Structures are given as structure tokens and as C-alpha cells.
Chain A
């Protein structure tokens, strides 16, 4: 392994125009790599801390302090060390020594963590996904590409559309190759654009590339998805399924312990009934954050009921777990969910993320690797998803450069791994 010669950090802008960190690591043999970190808008309470300057620049969102932490505090300790992601992450954790990375900032630490992994992969002459698999000792010898979850209608705080549910997703499950899944997703997206145009609804997009038309309620959004799928002649419940990210913490009122959903106060039982009605009515495959992040009790009963169904439905914890191994352990004990959403910047290092994935896998959880609403064009998560044979990847609609980048990288990996012909002979 080659030693680290130099670490640089700079402030760049993310896809929302907010500052974020890009870290460059240079090895002694002059091999170099960069990584940039994303930022969430709907952040779980238990996430690691994202360090912001809070001064006059960029409405306080500057990251110059975090960049300084990389160059002045982290770099001196890491320069001269071998670029081994596990050892480097360990050193940074010791250096920060807080439970939520509040000293150096999870954005500073993650930038270094990812850039080190990437430069080490290059040094080893391996594609990133293969390198991650080797370093973290993932036993599987097969590669299975994740199925994309396309967030094509944005609600919640990502868009101000008037919908309480944050994301409505279409999931193309039937095509065998990722390329064909991409095609189906893209065609559905394009058709939705045309339908919105015809209805006189806006077809401008939200932070994750999905549309954000003003709709009355959840049913209207589902019905729109049904109409689109029928129009594209794909079979609902066979070729295409739906998914939702409820992001229920956002509309949970902690004082009265009620969910303020579609302008009415609802108990967790009421919410469970609502979800059940969706499951009955629509081909729902994926239900994320149906309850608030600290309202543990209703999760278990919903998951139990769902697991009794013949059709597998994923109950997914995102804000619930925040990629945090202690919270996942509680979830496993309580049988709170059957799936976990993984976001690198919720926890702050690649190694901790891998530990969390390993624990989830050991307990037969489905694993979903996810982007954030404020993204960069970095495609690390695509390689991560392939490295761990993630079941799904969430990278937004097939729209906006920072989202499409993840999917383009996956198509590239598919080419490398399976030599899928670029232009299959068509009949």
C-alpha cells in the first residue's frame, strides 16, 4: 500500500447551490483521487453533524471551517500513513472522538474517507466496487446490480408540492438488465412529463429530479402513477411496482404525539390503516419511514403484519436508523423493519457504513443505498451499491446531472461486469 502525500479540501457547490466539501488525496506515487460529499434537507435527528460556517457567506452554509479541519487537523495526522481505508477511518474517529462527529464535522471526515478509498482503489488498479468488496472482506463472489428506485413525484420538503408524502417512486423490477430498467424508468418519467403538460400542471422538477405538481392528496399522486404506467403499457404489479418515502418524522407533532397528515391529526394506528389501504389498492413494494424516527412501537406491528403477506413488501428505516449501528441493533431486537436505507453521510465514514451494512445483511435485511437531496456529481454510491450487492439504489429521477451520474455509472459497471452489448441486435 502506498502512503499518503497530500490532502487538500475545497469548497464547491452541490446540486442545490449549497456549499459542500471536495477532498483530494494524493499518494506518494502521485496517484490522486477526489471525493465530494452530499447533504440532506430532510435530516434524521440522529445523523452525524454536518459542519457549517454560520457566517455571512452563503447564508451561513459555507464549509470553510470543515475544509480547514481537513487540511489543518486531519491531514497532518494522515500524511505519511498508508492509504488503507479501515485504518484511516479508525484514525479519524479517534481524532474526532465525539459520538456524532461534532468536532471535525461528518462532512470533513467523510470527504477524506471516500477520497482515500478511491485513491487506494486506483493504486490497487481495481474498480472501486471491487476494491471495496476486497478491503471489507465481503464473501460473495457474484455481483448483482441493484434495482433503481425512481423518485418521479416529489412531495414533502423537497418540493412544496402540497403533498405530505415526500417521494413517490416507480420500481421497474422485471427487466433483467440495469440498462433496460433505466430505459423503462426513463420512459415512464418522460410519459409523466407529457401527461402533466396536457393537464396544465407544472413539469418543473424538485431537488431529486422528480416532478412536483400541485396535487390534492396521496391518492391523486398514486392515480397519476397508475395512469402513466398504463399509458406505457407496462403491467402494474408485475413489471412495475410503486414505492413511497413517507418521511413521517416531518409531519409528526411530538407534543400531541400525532401525525398531521393531509391536514388531520392521526394516531400511529390511523397511519397504519392508511398504509394498509395503499397496500391493498396499489402495487406497493417499498414503504420508507412510515412512522417518526423515535416512535418505535408502531413500526414492529406494521412490519409483522406486512411480513405475513405473500407479496414481499419492504418496510424501510431511514430517519429511524440513520445508518447508525446502535439504532439498527435496537431495530433488530424490536423487529422494527425488514430493510435499511444506507446513507454514508448520516454516519460519516465508509468503514462505519460497511459495518452497518454487514449487520443488516447478517439479519437478512434488504439493503438500499441512497443519495441525498443535495448531491454532487460524485458516483461513489453506485460503486458502493455494487460492492455490497445492495438490493436497491435510490438516486432520484432519471433527471438532473447529479442523479443521472449515479445511473450512468451503474450502466458502465454493468458493461464491465457482464459485457452487456451496447447495441443488441433488434428484431
Chain B
């Protein structure tokens, strides 16, 4: 048995140049592990709290020294001496220490970095790969064998992740052929190159990328982005609609006017019904398979309508709740009750500990939901989510475009896991 000997928290920078936390755990047998936490830009209202210093003299108020101090002064004294293999108990202690529903006291960023680094230290101490250790710790009989998640690649960034010229936040491609993960990854890269060439040729100067690694071409219409994807895939050796499907993360909260109760697209006011019609129109023109946050959070019954309309067209269509659920089991229950979606986007930092995250995954699974493990727009190079996705046999993983170190790291780790599991030779 190994016990926690020391915990160190420090402020590092994330992929956007914002401060975030790194926590390092040292065990009494000398083993060490660390974890870092991401942060979102487009946040759900019900997310657990990301604690910031609000000290205007540093990092525009975004510093996380308070959260680090919470780890050092409040969490560490309680966790020292705890058996590292007791992941569930560690998380319970963290939740108890904070004692608020949304982690207002200590900060979800503080809690999560401790939770994840403990898990990694536990895996190291058990001499197990992280994904196997997570599986072992939380195995509820739901998982048989290992399968790698299907990657969802965010190729074009709109909405809040670029500069709000077009409303839909993410235009994704999904390699859906029955091939190894590494071949799906290669497909995305080759399409990414082609897309880059088209954007460069057509829009001259702007082959630059947004926070999640996707392009931010100087287009203004959402349809232009879909057309670009269409063209790139058509130029590739992959068959559109068969090997490559499209997905949208609309992040509809980003352009919803709460007072008017309307979705504002290019100054035009749209009702939920108008939005559903618009998505239907897109689905008739493009090989659309996923719509995430197509309507505003809390609009439970309109979500149901959205779902019914699309499942009538295609029973495999995925209606994904991200801001709708914020990895929160109470909200998920509400969604199940209202029949609002069939897929959940899981983000550990929306809730704050690994145990709560996995509880939510298991709950969703049992309700027949598909699982998407997701990164955030402000990421680190930590690859915990890749192992988590494999551990819970997630259906999908969302980790951005095949571009930017913090995104590619997740996919590189999945290729490594695939090698380990299947001994696929290069």
C-alpha cells in the first residue's frame, strides 16, 4: 500500500496562455504523478466553478493562485497519509471538503487537478496503464473488452471560438468507416491538409486556426463552412456520407437572445422551430450525423421536438447535450425524463471530480445514451481524457482538429493505446 506523502500545486499556462493548475502527487514510496486541468470559453450556466483570483494586477484577473493555495492549505493536510488506491474515497473527501453543489468553496479546477493526479499516481503505483486502472476502479459490469472511441474532429471554428462572424461554433468531421483509430486519424489529417489548401487559395490570407485547432476562414455564412467541408472531403480519397460524416456543435446559447427568446442569426430572429427547420435543411444537403447543443440549455421540451424530428429521418442520428447537461447527473435525469437527447458530452471539469464524472457516464449509459468524452477550448497537454475514453468504452472523443500540440496529444495517446491493446504494427 502506498500513501500520499506530498501534494504540490502550481500555476502553469494553458493552450490559450491562461493560467491553470498543475498538481503533482508524491507517494511515500517515491512515485510521482501529475495532472493539469482545462478550461472552457463557452460554458454552460450550470457548470461547476472554475476559481480565478480576480486580481487585476496579474493575468487580467485570471490567475489561479487562490485555487493553488486551496490545494496546499486546505486539501493537502487532509489527504496526506491516505491510501492512493482509494480513488473513490479521495474524491468523496474532496467533495466533502468543498461541501457546495458547484464547488464554490475550493474551485472545481482545484478539486479536479487533485482528483486526476491521484488517479494517475494510483495507476502508476498499481503498475497499470491509466485506462486499465480507471476501468478497474470503477468497473460496474457495464464494460466488456476495450474499444477505441470514434474521433470527432473540429475542422472549422466559428462562434465564440473564432470571432463570431458565423454562429455555429464547430463544424466537425467524423470518420465513420470501420478502420483502426490510427486510420481514422490519418483520414482527418489528409482532409485537414486539403481544407487548408482550399481556404488558402480562396480566402488568401486566413489559413490560421482557432483555439481548438480548426480553421477560421473569413466566411460569414454557416453554409459556407459546410460547403468547404464538402469540397475538402470530395477532393480526398474518402467517400463523403459513407466514410466521412459531419457533425455540428451549434452552441446555440452563444447566439440566443434571452429577452427576445430568439436565436439571432445575421440579425434575423429565429424561433426554436425555425432552428429545427434550418437543421433539417442542412441535413438534406449534407451528411449530417450529429447536432450538439442545437437549442438553448433549459429548453427541454423543444429539445424533445428536435430529437423526434431527426430520429424520424435517421434513427442513428445523435442529439448531443453539452451545455444542456454540463456532466451533471440531476440535469441528465431531467433530460432522460423529458426525452430531450440521446447523447451526452462529458467534460470532467464541468463537475469537478473523476468519480462524479464516471457516475454520470454510467447513468447515461444505462439510459441508453451514447457517450462523447470531450476536451475544452482552453486545454493543456495532459492526455487524461484519452485514457478515460478508452476506460469507459466511450463511443466518441472530441479533441479538436488534428492541429495544435494540446489537441494532437490526445490523438497521439489514443494511437499509443491502440498499439498497446491490439499490437497493430506500423
Residues in A lying within 8 Å of B, measured CB to CB: 10-17, 22, 57-59, 64, 67, 159-162, 182-183, 186-187, 189-190, 197, 202-206, 211-212, 214, 375-377, 397-405, 407-408, 411-412, 415, 422-423, 426
Give the residue name and chain of the A residue nearest to B403 (CB): A17
A190 to B14, CA, bound (A): 13
A15 to B404, CA, bound (A): 4
A426 to B22, CA, bound (A): 22
A212 to B218, CA, bound (A): 13
Which B residues are CB-close (under 8 A) to A426?
Answer: 55, 57
CB of A82 to closest CB in B, whole Å: 25
Q: Which of B305-313, B324-332, B412-420 has 4 or more CB atoms under 8 Å from chain A? A: B412-420
Given the interface pairs A197-B163, A408-B12, the reply to whether A401 lies near B409 with Cβ below 8 Å is yes
**B59 an interface residue at 8 Å Cβ cutoff?**
yes
Whether A13 and B207, one on each chain, are in contact in the complex, defined by CB atoms closer than 8 angstroms, is no
Which A residues are CB-close (under 8 A) to B22?
Answer: 408
For the complex of A and B, the 7 pairs showing the least CB-CB separation, nearest first, are A401-B406, A402-B405, A204-B208, A401-B405, A398-B17, A204-B216, A17-B402
Whether B193 and A400, one on each chain, are in contact in the complex, defined by CB atoms closer than 8 angstroms, is no
**B204 an interface residue at 8 Å Cβ cutoff?**
yes
A398 to B209, CA, bound (A): 15
A405 to B380, CA, bound (A): 8
**B83 an interface residue at 8 Å Cβ cutoff?**
no
A405 to B379, CA, bound (A): 11
A182 to B404, CA, bound (A): 20
Which A residues are CB-close (under 8 A) to B207?
Answer: 159-160
**B189 an interface residue at 8 Å Cβ cutoff?**
yes
Per DSSP, are chain A's interface residues mostly helix, strand or loop, or mixed? mixed
A375 to B200, CA, bound (A): 22
**B115 an interface residue at 8 Å Cβ cutoff?**
no
Name 17 A/B residue pairs within 8 A (Cβ), A-sorted: A12-B415, A14-B405, A17-B402, A59-B193, A64-B426, A159-B205, A202-B216, A204-B209, A205-B210, A377-B381, A397-B17, A400-B404, A401-B379, A401-B406, A405-B381, A408-B13, A423-B68
Whether A401 and B426, one on each chain, are in contact in the complex, defined by CB atoms closer than 8 angstroms, is no
Other-chain contact of A399, B16, B55, B69, B216 (Cβ < 8 Å): B16
Which A residues are CB-close (under 8 A) to B60?
Answer: 187, 190
Per DSSP, are chain B's interface residues mostly helix, strand or loop, or mixed? mixed
Give the residue name and chain of the A residue nearest to B165 (CB): A202
Which B residues are CB-close (under 8 A) to A211?
Answer: 208
Give the residue name and chain of the A residue nearest to B72 (CB): A422
Whether B218 and A10, one on each chain, are in contact in the complex, defined by CB atoms closer than 8 angstroms, is no
CB of B277 to closest CB in A, whole Å: 31
A189 to B17, CA, bound (A): 8
A205 to B72, CA, bound (A): 35
Other-chain contact of B208, A57, A58, A159 (Cβ < 8 Å): A159
Give the residue name and chain of the A residue nearest to B22 (CB): A408
Whether B13 and A186, one on each chain, are in contact in the complex, defined by CB atoms closer than 8 angstroms, is yes
Q: Which of A14, A183, A375 has the most CB of B within 10 A?
A: A183
**B185 an interface residue at 8 Å Cβ cutoff?**
yes
Whether B10 and A205, one on each chain, are in contact in the complex, defined by CB atoms closer than 8 angstroms, is no
Whether A17 and B408, one on each chain, are in contact in the complex, defined by CB atoms closer than 8 angstroms, is yes
Which B residues are CB-close (under 8 A) to A203?
Answer: 163
Which B residues are CB-close (under 8 A) to A161?
Answer: 205
**B192 an interface residue at 8 Å Cβ cutoff?**
yes
Whether A17 and B193, one on each chain, are in contact in the complex, defined by CB atoms closer than 8 angstroms, is yes
Other-chain contact of A401, B15, B206, B216 (Cβ < 8 Å): B15
**B401 an interface residue at 8 Å Cβ cutoff?**
yes
A411 to B68, CA, bound (A): 15
CB of B180 to closest CB in A, whole Å: 13
Which B residues are CB-close (under 8 A) to A12?
Answer: 408, 412, 415
Which A residues are CB-close (under 8 A) to B59?
Answer: 183, 186-187, 190
CB of A407 to closest CB in B, whole Å: 6
Give the residue name and chain of the B residue nearest to A209 (CB): B17
A405 to B406, CA, bound (A): 9
CB of B208 to closest CB in A, whole Å: 4
Give the residue name and chain of the B residue nearest to A398 (CB): B17
A131 to B189, CA, bound (A): 37
Which B residues are CB-close (under 8 A) to A17?
Answer: 189, 192-193, 401-403, 408
A159 to B204, CA, bound (A): 10
Which A residues are CB-close (under 8 A) to B58?
Answer: 183
Whether A160 and B15, one on each chain, are in contact in the complex, defined by CB atoms closer than 8 angstroms, is no
Residues 152-186 of chain B, each 1 if its beta carbon lies under 8 Å from chain A, else 0 = 00000100001100000000000000000000011
Given the interface pairs A212-B205, A426-B55, the reply to whether A13 lies near B402 with Cβ below 8 Å is yes
